[in-house]
């Protein structure tokens, strides 16, 4: 009976997607991301290195609208190269390939910041379900599921020792009016926070904790995960 109630309310969709994303992907790739970034930094000593940005930046648009080409989503985001790939046998596939793309993000002063960034691909499932009559998934339900996915994923990662300090969740709600450089500015906010954290560590002062002020009336998410992840306040969701 409880299972049927959960199915009808679709409460298990985002929860299952978050766990699948973690077990089937993040738990595999995140422990290797710093090594890949370090290899890239050694091969490109002319580029400034901020070790705090040596993590996977995961984009979580609450609209679940995932763009397959980040360069088309924002012209201030430029593809640089693919990081060293990981090849493992997985589910009967002899050489399953896992890799990440490195991008250069151009800021307001025309400077380039390099980072590994990609969308949380399970959001595509939520979006597709809202477009499929068989799923009977409304736009409002999709939004709630996106929030639940984000909260669940953060809680999972917060308890994962293997993934500690190897990721940053960037959850956001897109503006009603299109802004051509909204995405790059959103990413830059997090890169600057990481840069400030590194400076604080080098100077021996406590790392700055990014502001997580969320307004229940106007969702303005900047969900960040740093060395000491802070749980999301469910009251805002």
∠ Cα 206 183 196 (to 5°):
15
Please give the residue range of the domain that contains residue 89. 14-204
180-184 mean pLDDT: 94
CA distance 114 to 153: 25
pLDDT tens track for 63-114: 999 999 999 999 999 999 999 998 999 999 999 999 999 999 999 999 999 9
The 8-class DSSP code of residue 46 comes to T
Q: At 132, phi and psi to the nearest 5?
A: -105, 125
The yes-or-no verdict on residue 193 having pLDDT over 60 is: yes
Nearest to 37 by CA among 168, 224, 155, 192: 168
- The domain tally of the chain equals 1
Establish if 215 belongs to a structural domain.
no
Give the domain CATH number at 184: 3.40.50.12100
Establish if 234 belongs to a structural domain.
no
CA distance 221 to 106: 22
Tokens describing residue 153: 């994923």
pLDDT score recorded for residue 202: 59
Count of Cβ atoms closer than 10 Å to residue 169 Cβ: 22
pLDDT tens track for 198-228: 776 556 655 444 333 333 333 334 444 433 3
CA distance 147 to 36: 30
């Amino acid at each position: 009976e409880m299972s049927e109630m959960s199915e009808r309310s679709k409460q298990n969709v985002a929860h299952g997607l978050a766990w699948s994303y973690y077990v089937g992907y993040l738990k595999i790739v995140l422990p290797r991301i710093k090594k890949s970034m370090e290899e890239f930094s050694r091969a490109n000593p002319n580029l400034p290195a901020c070790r705090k940005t040596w993590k996977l930046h995961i984009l979580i648009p609450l609209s679940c609208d995932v763009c397959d080409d980040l360069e088309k989503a924002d012209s201030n985001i430029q593809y640089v190269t693919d990081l060293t790939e990981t090849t493992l046998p997985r589910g009967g596939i002899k050489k399953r390939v896992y890799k990440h793309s490195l991008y250069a993000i151009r800021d307001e002063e025309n400077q380039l910041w390099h980072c590994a960034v990609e969308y949380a691909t399970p959001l595509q499932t939520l979006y597709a379900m809202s477009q499929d009559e068989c799923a009977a998934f409304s736009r409002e339900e999709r939004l709630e599921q996106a929030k639940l996915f984000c909260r669940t994923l953060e809680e999972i990662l917060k308890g994962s020792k293997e993934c500690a300090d190897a990721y940053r969740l960037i959850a956001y709600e897109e503006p009603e009016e299109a802004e051509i450089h909204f995405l790059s500015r959103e990413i830059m906010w997090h890169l600057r926070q990481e840069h400030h954290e590194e400076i604080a560590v080098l100077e021996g002062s406590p790392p700055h904790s990014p502001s997580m002020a969320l307004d229940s009336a106007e969702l303005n998410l900047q969900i960040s995960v740093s060395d000491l992840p802070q749980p999301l306040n469910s009251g805002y969701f």
